[in-house]
Amino acid sequence: MAFNGHQRNDEGIDEDETPTKQPRSDKEKPDCFVHEPNNEASVSAGRATSDRRTSNSTSRLRSDSVKKTRPPFPWFGMDIGGTLVKLVYFEPKDITAEEEQEEVENLKSIRRYLTSNIAYGKTGIRDVHLELPDLTLCGRTGNLHFIRFPTHDLPAFLQMGRNKHFSSLHTTLCATGGGAYKFESDFRTMADLQLHKLDELDCLIRGVLYIDSVVSSGPSECYYFENPTDPDLCAQKPYTLENPYPLLLVNIGSGVSILAVYSENNYKRVTGTSLGGGTFLGLCCLLTGCSTFEEALEMASQGESTRVDKLVRDIYGGNYERFGLPGWAVASSYGNMMSKEKRESVSKEDLARATLVTITNNIGSITRMCALNENIERVVFVGNFLRVNTLSMKLLAYAMDYWSKGQLKALFLQHEGYFGAVGALLELLHPS
């Protein structure tokens, strides 16, 4: 049994008092990303001058070591999924006059192109609202940009890289996702680039933990919905991922992978499902004639899934009280479409809404069973299926809380679909 996508006002959500987010300790961050404190600030007034010189010398040696090990600009990380390509780009803001004079024109051209536009062609988008300014990576300060485009437009991206002579700056690009394997030969033949292929689940976890550790201002990276089905009382609340383990990480892309994470280096893939974001968009294209994810979501927001789905009350005339099943729960997705009369009365918007509810309910049901089997109470949902998709997020939030009787809380992250690309960037800068 599942939820019908209706807004429910009669079921309350237990409120949690969420602690204020505290920055994760430097011990948990890779050395390359820790902002080194000023050693002299911790030297007591009575410390000898020679000790201060030793401290300064050690800092210079450490700084020189970082300079020698960090790669040349530009710094990219890439996640090539089945539906979307996600790209993160670090834009240095502390370029010295000497560096600027020595900088080759190809590098300047790439930086200008990526940072002066918010759209690239017809389908490439830079998510400006996700940009992380004044971030310190490997001793350099700059802005981290988040860019996405459909995977079917990858040839245009490769041609752009060729036109801007990217291979004269880098011969290898760190990439993760299935497309890093599928399109490896295209990178080599079309852009003269080698791919350093990385495991997508390793990158996902590394990216999640890193982004959560560095976001200290603005909206909290992690959040949950309070009263998710009540339009008047629903509120997005911050949640800290301090001491996050164990957690269930549900990555919803074209398909779905569910991971049980016990530490940064100890996790397992519990299960998954082929019914994910790609299924939602594919079915909506077939049923409604839409062509984009945004169009499908817009249609779903205007539809009514109960005209398409058969509910418990359609079978029992009300609640199934013996097993505590409410009448508004979905008994059969698309069950009403067996009737010719009902098929003729539904709209494309209704079909889109029912498709969204069906996919989301299936993900929620599998996630809850995994949480019970693994004895994990913290569930984090990520992936581009959730991008601008508050309908599914609120449905997942309510389902997790309702069916677990308050034991499970659905958590979400601001940079939902970019963690794999972030993990690839971290591997470029600080190989594991």
* Active site residues per annotation: 200
- Helix 184-191 vs helix 154-163: angle between axes, to the nearest 10 degrees? 30
Which residue blocks in 335-429 are alpha helix, DSSP H? 340-345, 348-374, 390-403, 419-429
**Contact partners, residue 151, CB within 8 Å, separation at least 6:** 80, 81, 82, 83, 84, 85, 179
Query: Cα dihedral angle (286, 287, 292, 295), rounded to 10 degrees?
Result: 170
Q: Outline where DSSP puts E strands in 93-242.
A: 119-120, 124-126, 132-137, 140-150, 172-176, 194-198, 222-226, 235-238
- Using an 8 Å Cβ cutoff, are 5 and 305 in contact? yes
What is the maximum alpha-carbon separation in the chain?
91
3-class state of residue 388 by DSSP: coil
User: CA torsion angle for 212, 217, 222, 228 (degrees, to 10)?
Assistant: -170
Gap between the Cα atoms of 43 and 59, Å rounded: 14
Report the distance separating Cα 178 and Cα 254, nearest Å. 11
Q: Pairing mode, if any, of strands 266-273 and 256-263?
A: antiparallel
Distance between CA atoms of 423 and 147, rounded to whole angstroms?
15
User: Which residue is associated with the tokens 């050690």?
Assistant: 58
What is the distance between the alpha carbons of residues 157 and 298, in angstroms, rounded to a whole number?
Answer: 28
Question: Are residues 225 and 237 in contact, defined by beta-carbon separation less than 8 angstroms?
Answer: yes
What are 188-197's contacts with CB under 8 Å, separation 24+?
Answer: 190/155, 190/158, 190/159, 190/162, 191/158, 191/159, 191/161, 191/162, 191/166, 191/167, 192/162, 192/167, 193/161, 193/166, 193/167, 196/172, 196/427, 196/428
Which residue is listed with tokens 């495991």?
A: 199
Supply φ then ψ for residue 137, to 5 degrees.
-125, 125
Can you say whether the dihedral through the CA atoms of 25, 28, 33, 38 is positive or negative? positive
**Residue found under tokens 């089945």:** 82
